[in-house]
A and B are shown apart, each in its own frame.
Chain A
Amino acid sequence: MSSVDFTWLIGGPQGSGVESGANIFSRVCAEMGYQVFGKREFYSNIKGEHSYFAVRISDQKIHSNVNDVTLMASFDAETIFRHYDEVISGGGIIYDSALEDVTTDKVHTLDAPFRERLHKELESKNKPFSIAGVLEIAKEKGVKLFPVSFKAILEALAEETENPRLKGLVRMFNVIGVSLSLGLVKMPPDSLQKTIGTIFSKKQEIAKINQQTANYSYNYATAKFDEFNYSLTGIQKEPGTLLVQGFQGTALGKMACGCRVQPYYPITPASDESVFLESNEILEIIDDRPGSTAVIQTEDEICAMGMTIGSALTGTRSATCTSGPGFALMTEMLGWAGINEVPVVITNYQRSGPSTGLPTRHGQDDLLFSVFAGHGDFPKIVYASGDVEESFYDTGNVFNYADVFQVPVIHLMDKFIASSVVTCKRFDPSKITINRGKLLDKVEDGYERFAFTEDGISPRSRLGIDNGIFWDTGDESDEKGHITEDPILRVKMMDKRMSRLDLILQEIPDVEKVVSFGIEDYTVITWGSSKGPIIDAIEMLKKEGISIGLVQIKLLHPFPGEYVASLLKDAKTIIDVEANHSAQLGKLFKQNVQRDIDYSILKYTGRAMTSTEVYDSLKKIVENKANKREVLMHGA
């Protein structure tokens, strides 16, 4: 069986249509039955800096990107300078021939450290500091070059369609790049035409110009380009396949599980989720009138969190969505939600810290911060999803946890998931159960919001219902919710709230706490999005007869220490893999499982792990050639 594993990369200045080019390519591949795993990298910038999209496609289920690029489409010089060395021998580079003479000093967005490294490399190979220079290196390595004048294509197309406006339409460069690529790999052209039609369905005129450009470029490639080693002619499509962006899992999960208020403050990479929710604010409800989500853009994250809590007090399922810097601002209120036992969900799409850090780049930086967020002791849940498909169902679960245990829940997501575009199985909303816990619809006389009960959870009234009056306060309070400083009552109240941590560990099913992919002598522990590259790396090693186990911990606070310890009792070597500097999960593990981590594989370049580099490090560990702390560096 010849298996397909192909990575296509498109790059260009921010704002030049790299993303829509990648969307077209991804959608065509998905339509033709392939599994897609695409990831977007971009600067904190609106226009001009380098952004790129790497789309990996396969006939097997894939969970990550790899180091190798099979085909690169570039219409600007910077993409070639930055990525030429990722293209494999036998792979190809389609590029605008007008770029050949461009020298490194003409590309102002090449930052100094990168330029220095590039010059060193070119010098060592005795090549000029130009596109011609780097392409020579690629060619010597065995990469096939496909030069084409993008301008000439537009001119010829303008003449053919009698539309002189097309001649200067450099906006079309992305579609040209996509179509040349698809022509080169012999992807059936109908799917390209259909996809463009779908993407621009609301703009007929634009769809038409794009379709003409695509058609011309596609034919150009099939007619003019030399033979290429790779062809992608389509496979049987799996029915019920979605092509989703990473942030859509939590957004759709929120719609399905009844989150009806989401205040938020704009921040990368979290805002997309809120914008998507607002774009779909009116909801169809089965056998009922339409519902809606109030998505409120606030003045800051503090207000977002305050509104979320205020809304939750009315009995409405409420959430906010943010990233590390925003979450930092919410922590005082997190404690208020904790002491007042208010169920709220904070979806944290983590990015690289500290401070502003790498604002548009990936990092799993906020685990320990989330576990310890807020002053004083109060119960909360920290829960992490490993991919977009999981995040849909997990969103349903975390709202149930919040309601049942009456605690704030921090749902950890990250930039890697947020800006990836992947194929996955269609979400099934009938699997979203709704459990509101002890939320009351009716209240009898003599109600006390914080009454002591056997399980430590009091029936919960909501603002606006008859006889349900309660008081909340950030101070310690009595059963009614009035301020108290009585030492005995203080202890009772504190014990009541904190007893919930044990209850959470008791009540949440093990399968929702931890996912075990098998235990071996060498077993990896991880959390969140690092799961994908690890699964693929383990698969690669398996083909070589090396078995590695994997345990993905989803409930991170309270930490299921005993359960994790029992799962791992037969594992001889524990390897912690995560995307931060200090091996945060490793620290939690050691604290809660009382066992040492043997190896850490860490990445904090701000770029997501590839399965290639995880594979390399795991192999080194098995061969006893690894450092205790392996640091991954791949990616532009």
Chain B
Amino acid sequence: MALKMADFKTDVHNDWCPGCGDFGIVNAIQMALAEMGLERDKTAIFSGIGCSGKTSHYINTYGVHTLHGRVLTFAQGAKIANPEMTIVAVGGDGDGLGIGAGHFVAAGRRNVNMTYIIFDNGVYGLTKGQASPTLKLGEQTKSLPSPNTNYNVNPIGLAVASGFTFVARGYSYDVRHLKDLIIQAVNHKGLSFLDVLQPCPTYNDLNTRDWYAGTDLMDEAQKRHSRIYKLEDHGYDPVVHFNEEAEVNERLTQALIKSLEWGNKIPTGVFYKNEIITPYTVRLRDKVPNYLENPPAKQNISKNGISNTDISHILDSLEV
């Protein structure tokens, strides 16, 4: 029986602030899981720390609320041990691109077949609004005593440079589009990254819902001038179609250039997609031929309570 979006909700009280962009993301995830027809028992949400870390408690699948910056490490371990699981990792931009930046880069190199969604709002909300890695240099959100002294990280650019094979951006107030992006990301064969712009109504008074909607850009003639636009509406092709250096370089470069766009025009949609690079699970299968049929989590390790592993040939080689 196909599950509905409601089946992916828990009865846990959601304590995010009213108007928080996170609601759109959790709704989009639940819609995507339902639309894909995924089984709850074969799906796990891993989360980091902070407001976004609570996401796993609001979704009715296996949920693993981990540690600050470390969500990818737990998630990759689970996927490697049991590659049948569908795994979505979520976390804030401080979590993934500050304390967790090393894991972010290494995960890209590994390309484990799963999805990582960053809730990108430019502030550390749960600790009362300090500057996070995506806040621009010199910007001063409302609880900062002085303007931000650090240059910002470019999440899309960093993902592309680190080897993520699916890189996209969504906007938390465009839930349908975000849901479509999540489905593409989950279906992607490799590590997919989704940067979701998510206004923090309490602490980020610069990149607000109104700012994204471009209300400040409205002139009398124009009713609406949203900053957000969709790459796919402009004929942008993110896909690496064949395995040639020139092709790969062109798609990479185009994604990097697009990733620099900000200000009055902010691209969303898929920036880069490369399914020619093998996922980590396939790399493991190349070393261990039956890895996918008999992965670690499925292996039988005992017979009548005694070890069933035959190490005698190794012991023979050590015997004198």
A interface, CB within 8 angstroms of B? 27, 30-31, 237, 240-244, 248, 252, 255-258, 260-261, 263, 280-294, 296, 298-300, 302-303, 305-318, 332-333, 336, 396, 423, 426-427, 429-430, 432-435, 462-475, 481-483
Chain B residues with CB below 8 A from A289, complex form: 290, 294
CB of B221 closer than 8 Å to a CB of A: no
Contact B106 A298 (CB under 8 A): yes
Contact A299 B306 (CB under 8 A): no
Q: 1/0 per position for B299-316, CB-CB distance to A under 8 A? A: 111110111111111110
Closest partner residue, chain A, to B106 (CB atom): A299
Q: Knowing that A292-B291, A310-B76, A471-B62 touch, tell me 12 more A-B residue pairs with CB under 8 angstroms.
A: A243-B320, A294-B296, A314-B78, A316-B82, A318-B77, A333-B67, A429-B310, A464-B44, A469-B61, A481-B63, A483-B54, A483-B65
Contact B73 A306 (CB under 8 A): yes
Q: Given A311-B81, A434-B302, does the pair A472, B63 have CB atoms closer than 8 Å? A: yes
Q: 1/0 per position for B192-215, CB-CB distance to A under 8 A? A: 000000000000000000000000
CB of B287 closer than 8 Å to a CB of A: yes
Chain B residues with CB below 8 A from A434, complex form: 301-302, 305-307
User: Chain B CB within 10 Å — which of A300, A305, A311 has the most?
Assistant: A311
Task: Report the minimal beta-carbon distance from B157 to chain A, rounded to whole angstroms.
Answer: 20
Q: Given A243-B320, A315-B297, does the pair A281, B288 have CB atoms closer than 8 Å? A: yes
Closest partner residue, chain A, to B42 (CB atom): A464
Contact A464 B297 (CB under 8 A): yes
Contact A307 B63 (CB under 8 A): no
Chain B residues with CB below 8 A from A312, complex form: 77
Contact A240 B290 (CB under 8 A): no
Give the A-B pair count, Cβ closer than 8 A: 245
Contact B320 A288 (CB under 8 A): no
Chain A residues with CB below 8 A from B46, complex form: 310
Contact A469 B66 (CB under 8 A): no
User: Chain A CB within 10 Å — which of B67, B73, B309 has the most?
Assistant: B309
Interface of A is mostly: mixed
CB of B75 closer than 8 Å to a CB of A: yes
CB of B319 closer than 8 Å to a CB of A: yes
Chain A residues with CB below 8 A from B54, complex form: 483
Chain A residues with CB below 8 A from B167, complex form: none
Chain B residues with CB below 8 A from A242, complex form: 315, 318-320
Contact A309 B77 (CB under 8 A): yes
Q: Given A255-B309, A474-B65, does the pair A307, B74 have CB atoms closer than 8 Å? A: yes
User: Chain A CB within 10 Å — which of B46, B49, B319 has the most?
Assistant: B319
Considering the complex of A and B, which 3 residue pairs feature the smallest CB-CB distances, nearest first? Answer: A306-B73, A258-B301, A310-B77
Q: Given A281-B288, A291-B294, A302-B70, does the pair A260, B81 have CB atoms closer than 8 Å? A: yes
User: Chain A CB within 10 Å — which of B82, B288, B312 has the most?
Assistant: B82
Cα–Cα, bound, A252→B290 (Å): 21
Interface of B is mostly: mixed
Task: Count residues of B near A (Cβ-Cβ below 8 Å).
Answer: 65
CB of B40 closer than 8 Å to a CB of A: yes
Chain B residues with CB below 8 A from A283, complex form: 309-311
Cα–Cα, bound, A474→B53 (Å): 10
Contact B299 A256 (CB under 8 A): no
Cα–Cα, bound, A483→B12 (Å): 9
Contact B77 A471 (CB under 8 A): no
B interface, CB within 8 angstroms of A? 10, 12, 40-42, 44, 46, 49, 54, 56-57, 60-67, 70, 72-82, 84-85, 102-103, 105-106, 284, 287-288, 290-291, 294-297, 299-303, 305-315, 318-320
Contact A303 B284 (CB under 8 A): no
Q: Which of A296, A435, A463 contacts B44 (CB 8 A)?
A: A463
User: Chain B CB within 10 Å — which of A280, A313, A315, A430 has the most?
Assistant: A313
Task: Report the minimal beta-carbon distance from B300 to chain A, rounded to whole angstroms.
Answer: 6
Task: Report the minimal beta-carbon distance from B138 to chain A, rounded to whole angstroms.
Answer: 32
Chain A residues with CB below 8 A from B307, complex form: 256-258, 396, 429-430, 432-434
Chain A residues with CB below 8 A from B44, complex form: 463-464
Cα–Cα, bound, A388→B320 (Å): 16
Task: Report the minimal beta-carbon distance from B284 to chain A, rounded to whole angstroms.
Answer: 6
Closest partner residue, chain B, to A36 (CB atom): B320
Q: Which of A280, A396, A466, A483 contacts B41 (CB 8 A)?
A: A466
Q: Which of B81, B287, B320 contacts A314 (CB 8 A)?
A: B81
Chain A residues with CB below 8 A from B105, complex form: 299
Closest partner residue, chain B, to A468 (CB atom): B41
Contact B319 A240 (CB under 8 A): yes
Cα–Cα, bound, A310→B74 (Å): 4
Cα–Cα, bound, A288→B296 (Å): 14
Task: Report the minimal beta-carbon distance from B190 to chain A, rounded to whole angstroms.
Answer: 17
Q: Given A296-B80, A309-B74, A332-B67, does the pair A290, B290 have CB atoms closer than 8 Å? A: yes
27 A-B pairs, CB-CB below 8 angstroms? Answer: A27-B320, A237-B320, A252-B315, A258-B309, A260-B81, A260-B299, A261-B80, A281-B288, A283-B311, A286-B309, A288-B308, A292-B296, A296-B80, A298-B106, A299-B105, A306-B74, A307-B73, A313-B64, A316-B81, A318-B77, A336-B67, A463-B44, A463-B62, A463-B82, A468-B41, A469-B40, A469-B41
Chain A residues with CB below 8 A from B42, complex form: 464
Contact A435 B319 (CB under 8 A): no
Contact B66 A474 (CB under 8 A): yes
Chain B residues with CB below 8 A from A473, complex form: 56-57, 65
Q: Given A30-B320, A291-B294, A311-B296, does the pair A426, B82 have CB atoms closer than 8 Å? A: no
Cα–Cα, bound, A354→B320 (Å): 39
Contact B300 A288 (CB under 8 A): yes
Cα–Cα, bound, A468→B72 (Å): 22
Q: Which of A252, A291, A311 contacts B78 (CB 8 A)?
A: A311
Chain B residues with CB below 8 A from A336, complex form: 66-67
Contact A310 B103 (CB under 8 A): no
Contact B67 A313 (CB under 8 A): no
Cα–Cα, bound, A475→B65 (Å): 8
Cα–Cα, bound, A369→B12 (Å): 38
Closest partner residue, chain B, to A252 (CB atom): B311
Closest partner residue, chain B, to A300 (CB atom): B102
Task: Report the minimal beta-carbon distance from A282 to chain B, rounded to whole angstroms.
Answer: 6
Q: Given A240-B319, A255-B311, A307-B77, does the pair A464, B296 have CB atoms closer than 8 Å? A: no
Chain B residues with CB below 8 A from A311, complex form: 77-78, 80-81, 296-297
Task: Report the minimal beta-carbon distance from B33 to chain A, rounded to whole angstroms.
Answer: 13
Task: Report the minimal beta-carbon distance from A177 to chain B, rounded to whole angstroms.
Answer: 21
Cα–Cα, bound, A317→B77 (Å): 12
User: Chain A CB within 10 Å — which of B12, B40, B65, B77 has the most?
Assistant: B77
Cα–Cα, bound, A31→B318 (Å): 11
Chain A residues with CB below 8 A from B291, complex form: 292, 294
Chain B residues with CB below 8 A from A482, complex form: 10, 12, 57
Q: Given A336-B67, A471-B65, does the pair A291, B80 have CB atoms closer than 8 Å? A: no
Chain B residues with CB below 8 A from A290, complex form: 290, 294
Chain B residues with CB below 8 A from A293, complex form: 296
Q: Given A256-B311, A282-B288, does the pair A483, B57 have CB atoms closer than 8 Å? A: yes
Closest partner residue, chain A, to B46 (CB atom): A310
Closest partner residue, chain B, to A31 (CB atom): B320
Contact A291 B103 (CB under 8 A): no
Chain A residues with CB below 8 A from B296, complex form: 260-261, 292-294, 311, 314, 316, 318
Q: Given A257-B301, A467-B41, does the pair A298, B73 have CB atoms closer than 8 Å? A: yes
Contact A287 B320 (CB under 8 A): no
Task: Report the minimal beta-carbon distance from B298 to chain A, rounded to whole angstroms.
Answer: 9
